[in-house]
Structure 1
Amino acid sequence: MGQPIQRARAALRAMHRLETLRSNTDLSEDDVEAAASVLRSDAIDVEQPLLEEHDQETNGQQSGRRVLGPRESFRRAGHEVMAARRFLKRANESSASSKSAATPRTWSDRIVNIGTGLMPEVQKPDAEDVGAPSKGPGIISPMTDFRAYYQLVIGSWMNVLLLAVPLGWVAYFLHWGSMAVFLLNFAALIPLALILGEVTEDLALRFGQTIGGLLNATFGNVVEAILSIAALMKGLYTVVATSLIGSILSNLLLVLGFCFLCGGSKYKQQQFNLLANKACCSMLFMACIALSIPVSSQFMYGKEMADDTTVAHLSHGTAILLIIVYACYLLFQLKTHEDLFASDEGGEAPCLSLSGAIGGLAVITVIVAVCSEFLTGALEDVSKQSGLNQAFLGLIVLPIAGNACEHITAVFVSIKNKMDLAIGVALGSSIQIAVFVIPVTVIVGWVFNKPFFLDSFAPFPTLMLTFAVIHAYFVSSDGNSNWLMGVELVGTYTLIAMLYLFLHMS
């Protein structure tokens, strides 16, 4: 075992230095010769040198410049080297996890041992096609479904809040007061969001990567969508706008910040997929531009934009365009560039039967819709009784109900050093809200004759959202994270929350 690992390590070092050399276009011939000698010595334990010098060609002609490139044998060894990379990574992760499991050494180790109530994993042999559907229970399997739901319910301490579901309904029908109705249904949405996400993920495993990705994209933020539509039907346009922007801000600043902070408390530096991060941030920035155009155009072209018809046409056209862009993003993520978003997680199979997953998804969605209806109905009275403005409740409070369990899951996986998964949860949820839930809400208002347009988003929250996207990109632009970056992001979110709290309290 020693020599293959030694060869693999030497090959990986050579690959890393080759990539570094290629990225530097200002190297002289002496630099290339020096680098070549270092690489030869670094790969001395390999049977043949992995790299060689050759003349660089420009437009089919020799440029006279010597460059360093891989031998043909090095290219053929690519699969072996990548297999060695995965082996070394698994060995390091298993070693680290075994040590931390034996004795939790930090507060983050103790937190992650609490558990999130996720579906139990069913291990199976590695498949050649990781995007293929996973086998599980058949179409109907009542006992299997009962055991799976039972394990899901008892697997998390947060599911104690499921008791708030019947209590919230009783409070509504027996008129216990708006505050009781609001708080109980608010608490009920937290575990419902967790269970809904787990059932969606279980159903997605059955259909493979493409259809499963579409399921996750559709139901990933169904709680936020239902809350927004329920508030829309009651004419609470300020709550709709602020809750949607608040959900994006909480994902971008609070969740991402806590992922960096908690993961950085255990690991000095963590790494993640830089290209996927850039793609997500560019999508979010485009959404910020789309939201800013109706708001800023009112300042630039006041008289022309004063007409509701102009604003309506602009909002409806922007909503349709955002949905088209979101469809292109799904094509990019699930088909053309799926390797950028590929997860290292494998060996999972569905725990629920097909009928159990679909039936559970339908039942939970109905319960979420009822709780959201009761919650939004009590919102105006709660705002008057508490003295908190609807903008604060929408921007800060309501996003917690729809995102709490998703936030906790992202933080837990960051503590396990699975940063790609953690960032995928935070940024992926933000993209779904920005370019899918927001335009869908606008179109629903269009269909039901509710005048909810993009100018309902106030200038200040829209500006803060744009700054949040820029800040999140800057702190993660090099593909590395540490705890200080987390402090910066959480601090930025706290500043925004403090402003709305103190402003509306006064």
Structure 2
Amino acid sequence: MKRIFFLLAIIGLPLGTAGDWFRVNETWMFIVYALTIVGLAAYMGRATESIAIHAGERIGGLLNATFGNAAELIISIFALYAGYTSIVLASMTGAVLGNLLLVCGFSFLVGGIKKKRQSFNEHDARHNGGMLMLGIVTAFVFPHIFASQTSAGEAMTLSVFVAVILMILYISGLIFRLVTHHSVYPGQDNGTDEEETPEWTKGRSFLILLSATVGVAYMSEKLVRTFEAVGESFGWSELFLGVIVIAIVGNAAEHASAIYLAYRSKLNASVEIAVGSSIQIAMFVVPVLVLLSLAFNNHMPLVFTMPELIAMVLAVLLSIVVTMDGDTNWFEGAMLLAAYAILATGFYFL
């Protein structure tokens, strides 16, 4: 797997640059840019993990929270600057659906095939469930209802207010779990006592992280310029492009890590990647994009379409039901995957 990501990054960067110079068909270049971003995102994840091991568990948790969705955030910033606000909101929806249904589903399925029952920290599951209910069911649904009853300016003002509240609560949640109550709710190791060793030195990890981030930003700017051509070529709507395609591209490396950890019976880490990433999207990434849009010509209020809202609410409720007991199996994974397949098909036909 590491060799595949290396090839994607080392071949994709020069190929993407050459294709842009020689104006190769944008549909083909979309594929090149997307695969390159996946490869670079994998290196961002590996560098972050190495830094986390060097720095310690608490700082490592903060680093993972910060860089977990970096690739998707960078893509969204360029898309927002280009005026694709509907694609940005759709990609945020897709990130939530992908993490809660697709990644959790595959993780539970793969881990459950290897081991009949797998457990994870039920205290974390309850904490995450509450954060998801607030960040998505409450903070996303109400602005949509409010926007239909008032002016665009007032809807944007409410969106900014909600964004600030969500960011404050997200940061408070990090402090709660990593500092004030770190020892109150200890994790479960699922029977694994292996000592982690960093893949790279601290200096090399920072250098790789910086280089990969620059590469993702460079490829993301080119990827955004191909959106219209790709949509016309494949007959994809902006909604499907954002909810399914862009969301998977932005999180592919992270998804692979979560599934691999579940296979190794490290379900705590796997669930934290999948569910924790959804919480970060809802309570940090989306608010940051709302605030950043104030600096651009295209303001982005926190107003999702009704299909997006319904899909996210259903994903949150189903994931809470499945994870609340801190115990899972392959059939629960199959249920989550079935839900994702149903929603993805629906978005394709919209």
TM-score, normalized by the shorter chain, greater than 0.5: yes
Provide closer, same or farther for how the CA distance between residues 461 and 369 of structure 1 changes in structure 2, counting only shifts above 3 A. Answer: same
Residue from 290, 295, 299 that aligns with 2:139: 290
After TM superposition, give the deviation of residue 221 of structure 1 in Å: 0.8
Q: Find the residue that maps to 1:368 and give its secondary structure.
A: helix
Distance 2:345 2:217 in 1: 30
> Which SS does the other structure have where 2:56 is aligned?
helix
- Deviation of 1:346 (Å): 5.5
- Deviation larger for 461-470 or 443-452: 443-452
Q: Which residue number corresponds to residue 162 of structure 2?
A: 318
> What is aligned with 1:266?
114
Match of 1:173 in 2: 21
Q: Residue 478 of structure 1 corresponds to which residue in structure 2? A: 325
In the other structure, the counterpart of 2:334 is 487
Contact 1:343-1:421 at 8 Å conserved across structures: no
- Aligned pair partner of 1:195 in 43, 52, 73: 43
Instruction: For 2:55 and 2:71, locate their aligned partners in 1 and report how far apart those are by CA, in whole Å.
Output: 23
Letter in 1 for 2:4: W
Going from structure 1 to structure 2, the CA distance change for 1:260 and 1:351 (only over 3 Å counts) comes to closer
Q: Does 1:499 align with 2:343?
A: no
Shift of 1:165: 2.1
Q: State, as a whole percentage, how many aligned pairs show the same letter.
A: 35
Alpha-carbon shift at residue 199 of structure 1 (Å): 0.5
In the alignment, the residues of structure 2 paired with residue 359 and residue 444 of structure 1 have an alpha-carbon distance, to the nearest angstrom, of: 27
Q: For residues 144-176 of structure 1, give each alpha carbon's deviation from its aligned partner in whole angstroms, at most 9, with x where no partner exists.
A: xxxxxxxxxxxx334322212221121112100
Judging changes above 3 Å, is the alpha-carbon distance between structure 1 residues 451 and 429 closer, same or farther for their aligned structure 2 residues?
Answer: same
Give, in whole Å, the separation in 2 of the partners of 1:480 and 1:341. 16
- The structure-2 alpha-carbon separation of the partners of 1:335 and 1:453, relative to structure 1 and needing over 3 Å to count, comes to same
In the other structure, the counterpart of 2:182 is 338
Q: How does 1:368-407 map to 2 (within 5 A)?
A: 368-407=216-255
Q: CA deviation at 1:465?
A: 0.4
Per-residue displacement from partner, 1:124-160 (whole Å, max 9, x unpaired)? xxxxxxxxxxxxxxxxxxxxxxxxxxxxxxxx33432
Could you give the per-residue CA deviations for residues 43-83 of structure 1, whole angstroms, max 9, x where no partner exists? xxxxxxxxxxxxxxxxxxxxxxxxxxxxxxxxxxxxxxxxx
Q: 1:461 aligns with which of 308, 326, 333?
A: 308
Deviations along 1:351-384, one digit per CA (max 9) or x if unpaired, are 4334322222221111100101100111011111
Distance 1:169 1:292 in 2: 41
The answer to whether the 8 A contact 1:201-1:216 is kept is yes
CA contact (8 A) 2:50 2:201 kept: no
Q: Following TM superposition, by how much is the alpha carbon of 1:342 offset from its aligned partner in structure 2, in angstroms?
A: 3.8
Q: How does 1:83-232 map to 2 (within 5 A)?
A: 116-117=1-2, 156-162=3-9, 163-232=11-80
Code of the residue aligned with 1:452 in structure 2: it is M
Residue in 1 that maps onto 2:204: 356
Partners of 2:30 and 2:223 within 8 A in 1:
yes
- After superposition, the C-alpha distances for 1:387-432 in whole angstroms (9 at most, x for unaligned) are 1111101100111112112212211221222211111111111111
- 8 Å Cα contact 2:258-2:269 kept in structure 1: yes
Q: Are 2:43 and 2:208, in contact at CA under 8 Å, matched by a contact in 1? A: no
Q: Which of 329, 353, 365 pairs up with 2:173?
A: 329
Q: Deviations over 1:159-218 (max 9, x none)?
A: 322212221121112100211221100111111111101111212222222322222211
Aligned-partner Cα distance in 2 for 1:451–1:257: 35
**Alpha-carbon contact 1:262-1:483 (below 8 Å) kept:** yes
Q: C-alpha displacement at 1:262, in angstroms?
A: 1.2
Higher RCO (CA 8 Å, separation ≥ 6 residues): 2
Which has more helix, going by share of residues?
A: 2
Code of the residue aligned with 2:154 in structure 1: it is T
TM-score computed with the length of structure 2 as normaliser = 0.94
Cα separation, 2, equivalents of 1:264 and 1:355: 38
Query: 2:163 & 2:243 partners in 1: Cα distance?
Result: 21
Partner residue in 2 for 1:6 = none
How many angstroms apart in 1 are the aligned matches of 2:144 and 2:209? 37
- 1:159 alignment partner AA: F
Deviation at residue 485 of structure 1 after TM alignment: 0.7
Q: TM-score, normalised by structure 1?
A: 0.66
Residue matched to 2:267? 419
Question: Hey, what's the Cα distance between the residues in 2 that align with 1:241 and 1:273?
Answer: 31
Larger radius of gyration: 1
Q: One-letter code of the match for 1:485?
A: E
Q: Look up the SS of the partner of 1:350 in the other structure.
A: coil
Distance 1:165 1:422 in 2: 30
8 Å Cα contact 1:185/1:374 also seen in 2 = yes
- Superposition deviation, residue 343 in structure 1: 6.4
State the distance in 2 between where 1:348 and 1:159 align: 22
